[in-house]
Amino acid sequence: MSGLQLVSMWHDPGTRALRLNHNLHRFARMSTAQPLKKLVSGVVLDLDGTLLNTDGIVSEILKAFLVKYGKQWDGREALKIAGKTPFESAAVIVEDYGLPCATEEFISEITPMFSNQWCKIKALPGANRLIKHMRRHEVPVALASNSPKENIETKISYHQGWKESFSVIIGGDEVRNGKPSPEIFLEAANRLKIESSNLLVIEDSLPGVTAGKAAGMEVVAVPSLPKQNHLYNSADEVINSLLDLRPEKWGLPPFQDWIKGTLPIEPWHIGGPVIKGFGRGSKVLGIPTANLSTEEFSDLLLEHPSGVYFGWAGLSARGIYKMVMSIGWNPYFDNKEKTMEPWLLHKFNEDFYGEELRLIILGYIRPEANFPSLESLIAKIHEDGEIAEKALDLPLYAKYRDDPYLKMS
């Protein structure tokens, strides 16, 4: 196919939707392991909190701004403003904090603060992968956000290949009512030339989920705030992060980057002295986990979705070991803090509290889960250990064993 043909086809979502329809049953047959949901032929994506980690920037700016009024930013407000239009969010903050200004004044003061920060907003884990995957497979994708179109364009301009990957981009200023009204999604369907019921919405916020269902679309929720999943029961599926999205459940082309039960991720490093944890790893589970302080790494912890990861661990003066770890709130124990707990896949004869531990995290295995019994939790963790053990022998992961970071040189 010539480049020109490819381009013109790319700009006619209707044609691609048709062709994709022919493939639907093929993909559906491939997904024997997953229960099949309703088949779709296109995707509508939300931007803030779904593809972009906007929440961190919003919190930072509001924190700095409220100090001027002698108020303290309360993280819980984040839930109230998620998915709202900029005006609605501003009104909520002015009211809740009793600010001595009109919503319009608040907006004009805070808008320049946001404009300076847009270039710093990072893509959420799995966002780039999702966008590139849909593009490679020519799945029509619309971007539909409550933000004004101009802001959307600016925000996505910092992310290579994004703009070209959306056949349609709709801002909140292009419809009369933003989400939770279905208007913005119906307009997306219109411009994609695909029936609403053949579209899959991916959304992090409650207003977004409501809008998607009201538009008659299938909706996958990816809540951006922790421990809120129970609020999302109107969604067709709730996933923990984009890493857990299985497009084949909806008849879309499956991701092909999973290897032996693992998903390679952009490697990241973390290290520090081993500290005391909850004191139940060895005692309750028979699985000791070497906890690291989370204080210094709160950004890294926020950045990475909770779940089970693996990689290599270096212990000063001892050696380098395979490692599998959990990040999150341990739903079985319902912890109040997000923690990081690596289990080194090696039998040690003594504890090593206080020793310097360095980790390179290379891949993802699964989201955190709750379990009906302690035995089933333990069995699952052992299964994770076996997956990590085997995967780390693959050249793709094995090569990091020699990383100087682990040797502390």
Q: Which is nearer to Mg ion, 254 or 277 (CB)?
A: 277
Given a contact cutoff of 8 angstroms between Cβ atoms, the answer to whether 407 and 314 are in contact is: yes
User: Exactly one of 293, 337, 348, 408 binds ligand ADP (CB under 6 A); which one?
Assistant: 348
- DSSP string for 373-404: SHHHHHHHHHHHHHHHHHHTTSHHHHGGGG-H
Q: What are the residues whose beta carbons fall under 8 Å from the beta carbon of 199, sequence distance 6 or more?
A: 40, 41, 42, 43, 44, 185, 188, 189, 192, 215, 217, 218
For residue 165, the minimal CB distance to Mg ion (Å) is 42
Q: Is 310 in the site for ligand ADP (CB under 6 A)?
A: no
Q: Which is nearer to ligand RBF, 208 or 342 (CB)?
A: 342
Q: Which is nearer to Mg ion, 89 or 289 (CB)?
A: 289
- Taking the C-alpha atoms of residue 267 and residue 252, their distance in angstroms, rounded to an integer, is 28
Q: What are the residues whose beta carbons fall under 8 Å from the beta carbon of 18, sequence distance 6 or more?
A: none
User: Exactly one of 291, 306, 330, 339 binds ligand ADP (CB under 6 A); which one?
Assistant: 291
Instruction: Output DSSP code: residue 228.
Output: -
- Taking the C-alpha atoms of residue 297 and residue 278, their distance in angstroms, rounded to an integer, is 18
Q: Is 69 in the site for ligand ADP (CB under 6 A)?
A: no
With b for 16 or more beta-carbon neighbours within 10 A and e for fewer, the 69-87 pattern comes to: eebebeeebbeebbbbbbe
Query: Which segment (21-29, 79-87, 350-358, 372-380) binds ligand ADP by CB under 6 A?
Result: 350-358
Sign of CA dihedral 345, 346, 351, 357: negative
For residue 318, the minimal CB distance to ligand RBF (Å) is 19
Q: Which is nearer to ligand RBF, 107 or 285 (CB)?
A: 285
* Total number of residues that touch Mg ion (CB under 5 A): 4
User: Exactly one of 288, 338, 394, 398 binds ligand ADP (CB under 6 A); which one?
Assistant: 288
Q: Which is nearer to ligand RBF, 252 or 381 (CB)?
A: 381
- The residues binding ligand RBF (CB under 6 A) are 277-278, 280-281, 285, 287, 289, 308, 324-326, 330-333, 341, 343, 368-369, 377, 381, 384
Query: Which segment (56-64, 199-207, 286-294, 372-380) binds ligand ADP by CB under 6 A?
Result: 286-294
- Taking the C-alpha atoms of residue 203 and residue 222, their distance in angstroms, rounded to an integer, is 6
Active-site hit among 204, 236, 248, 341? 341
Instruction: Output DSSP code: residue 358.
Output: E
For residue 362, the minimal CB distance to Mg ion (Å) is 21
Tokens read off for 336? 């109040």
Strands, E assignment, 109-149: 141-144
Positions in 205-264 near ligand ADP (CB under 6 A):
none
How many helices (H) and strands (E) are present in the chain, helices listed first? 14, 12
Q: What phi and psi values does residue 117 have, to the nearest 5 degrees? A: -100, -15
- Taking the C-alpha atoms of residue 170 and residue 189, their distance in angstroms, rounded to an integer, is 11
Q: Is 340 in the site for ligand ADP (CB under 6 A)?
A: no
Q: Is 286 in the site for ligand ADP (CB under 6 A)?
A: no
With b for 16 or more beta-carbon neighbours within 10 A and e for fewer, the 154-188 pattern comes to: ebbeebeebeebbbbbbbbeebeebbbbbbbbbbb
For residue 37, how many other CB atoms are within 10 A of its CB?
Answer: 18
Q: Which is nearer to ligand ADP, 146 or 339 (CB)?
A: 339
Task: Please say if 351 is a catalytic residue.
Answer: no
- Taking the C-alpha atoms of residue 355 and residue 377, their distance in angstroms, rounded to an integer, is 28
User: Exactly one of 216, 254, 261, 281 binds ligand ADP (CB under 6 A); which one?
Assistant: 281
Active-site hit among 12, 48, 55, 383? 48
Q: Which does 348 bind (CB under 5 to 8 A by kind): ligand ADP, Mg ion, ligand RBF, none?
A: ligand ADP
Q: Which is nearer to ligand ADP, 196 or 289 (CB)?
A: 289
Q: Is 41 in the site for Mg ion (CB under 5 A)?
A: no
Positions in 264-303 near Mg ion (CB under 5 A):
277, 281, 289, 291
For residue 222, the minimal CB distance to ligand RBF (Å) is 18
The residues carrying an active-site annotation are: 46, 48, 341
- Enumerate binding residues for Mg ion (CB under 5 A): 277, 281, 289, 291
